[in-house]
Amino acid sequence: MGVNTSGGHPAMDYAEHNRTYANFLAWTKTAIIFLVILLSGMAYFLV
């Protein structure tokens, strides 16, 4: 996804913002996958 930052505020660190957002998405995907595996394991072993 590309973002045009040419008209943004000069004090805004857009590169850091993009890295933070990418890390947030990566951790969110990892957490969702972990929870799916955890819940699947609980459904299989506890029921």
The proportion of the chain whose per-residue pLDDT surpasses 70, expressed as a percent, equals: 98
pLDDT at 10 over 70: yes
25 belongs to a structural domain: yes
Instruction: Name every residue whose Cβ is closer than 8 Å to that of residue 12 and which is 6 or more positions away in sequence.
Output: 5
Predicted pLDDT of residue 37: 98
**What is the model's pLDDT at position 11?**
86
Structural domain contains residue 33: yes
pLDDT score recorded for residue 44: 97
| Number of separate domains in the chain | 1
- Residue 29: which domain range? 15-47
Categorize the per-residue pLDDT at 1 as very low, low, confident or very high, splitting at 50, 70 and 90: low
